[in-house]
């Protein structure tokens, strides 16, 4: 079997076009435009690329982006002050703090500083709690992107065994919850999981978000599995996923490539969340 490749880039372009149309309609007769503030601390090369791509997507679809780039040693209080100011700013409908933050900053405290209505990453504990109870309208971008990819590929999630590699707050845990809400039977594996291959081989849907290049081999997956690769790892300046694509593509039924799979979907979902936050805030005026 050779897997069909899920075109995350193409699907994300389609979603961004739909969002752009909606923004155009919403702006008719209004002098307000959706605004996204992006805070980045330091010079982490990957973060700089992600932020540049997010700003580019904003430009393409009619969201105004505001970048707050401060140096590595910015005191935590200054970042919090910026966030509190942006929470009150009527031109800003979404706020995102690019992660990871420098080690001496309390990431939890920073994320809790963002007004939940403007938390377009969905990392605030209130929004995470709503995700847990399936009452959220802002959803974590990567996980929401994964679900969109599965839906666009007409994958029936209900009743399937889903195995997630990775238990991060950003991807592993929210993806597990979202698949559970869609009635999959979900297992999370992590660095301490024993006999991991025995578990991954049971997955009808396998999502890998561990950041270990080519960790998932052909032997680790079920015949015909649907494989979603969230990994973005750099080897000799080349991007590779968590999945050994060349091996796994011969055994899976559907697979996401790296690059061009989950990555562009994360950005499309960020745009979607910014639009959702904008609509909610302009309706409350």
Q: Which residues are catalytic?
A: 54, 98, 121
Strands (E), the chain: 4-5, 35-41, 64-70, 94-97, 161-165, 185-189, 205-208, 226-229, 233-235, 238-240, 254-255
**DSSP helix/strand/coil, 24:** helix
CA distance 46 to 174: 22
CB of 200 closer than 8 Å to CB of 179: no
| The binder of ligand GUN chosen from 12, 65, 82, 98 (CB under 6 A) | 98
5-13, 94-102, 161-169, 196-204 -> range binding ligand GUN (CB under 6 A) = 94-102
Min dist CB 188 to ligand GUN, Å, is: 18
Task: Name the phi and psi angles at 169, rounded to 5.
Answer: -70, -25
| The binder of ligand GUN chosen from 65, 74, 142, 274 (CB under 6 A) | 142
25-33, 65-73, 93-101, 273-281 -> range binding ligand GUN (CB under 6 A) = 93-101
Residues 143-182 that bind ligand GUN (CB under 6 A): 170
| The binder of ligand GUN chosen from 3, 92, 141, 277 (CB under 6 A) | 141
Residue nearest to ligand GUN as judged by C-beta position: 99
Roughly how many angstroms between the first and final C-alpha of the chain, as a whole number?
55
Judged by CB, which is closer to ligand GUN: 97, or 139? Answer: 97
**For the window 46-85, what string marks contact with ligand GUN as x by the rule CB under 6 A?**
----------------------------------------
Q: At what angle do helices 45-61 and 262-284 cross, to 10 degrees?
A: 60
Question: Which parts of this chain interact with ligand GUN (CB under 6 A)?
Answer: 96-99, 121, 141-142, 170, 266
């Amino acid at each position: 079997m050779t897997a069909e490749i899920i075109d995350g880039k193409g699907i994300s372009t389609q979603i961004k076009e739909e969002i752009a149309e909606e923004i155009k309609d919403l702006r008719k007769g209004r002098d307000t435009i959706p605004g996204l503030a992006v805070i980045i601390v330091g010079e982490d090369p990957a973060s700089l690329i992600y932020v540049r791509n997010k700003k580019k997507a904003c430009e393409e679809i009619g969201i105004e982006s505001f970048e707050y780039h401060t140096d590595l040693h910015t005191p935590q209080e200054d970042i919090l002050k910026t966030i509190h100011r942006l929470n009150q700013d009527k031109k800003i409908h979404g706020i995102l703090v690019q992660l990871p933050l420098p080690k001496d900053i309390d990431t939890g405290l920073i994320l809790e500083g963002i007004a939940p209505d403007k938390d377009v990453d969905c990392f605030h504990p209130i929004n995470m709690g709503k995700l847990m109870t399936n009452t959220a309208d802002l959803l974590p971008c990567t996980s929401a992107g994964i679900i969109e990819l599965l839906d666009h590929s007409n994958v029936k999630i209900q009743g399937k065994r889903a195995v997630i590699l990775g238990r991060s707050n950003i991807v592993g845990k929210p993806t597990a919850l979202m698949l559970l809400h869609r009635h999959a039977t979900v297992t999370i594996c992590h660095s301490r999981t024993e006999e991991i291959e025995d578990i991954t081989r049971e997955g009808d849907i396998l999502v890998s978000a561990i950041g270990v290049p080519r960790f998932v081999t052909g032997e680790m997956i079920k015949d015909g599995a649907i494989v979603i690769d969230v990994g973005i790892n750099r080897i000799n300046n080349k991007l590779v996923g968590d999945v050994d694509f060349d091996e796994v593509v011969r055994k899976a039924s559907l697979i996401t490539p790296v690059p061009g799979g989950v990555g562009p979907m994360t950005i499309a979902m960020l745009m979607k969340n910014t639009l959702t936050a904008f609509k909610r805030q302009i309706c409350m005026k």
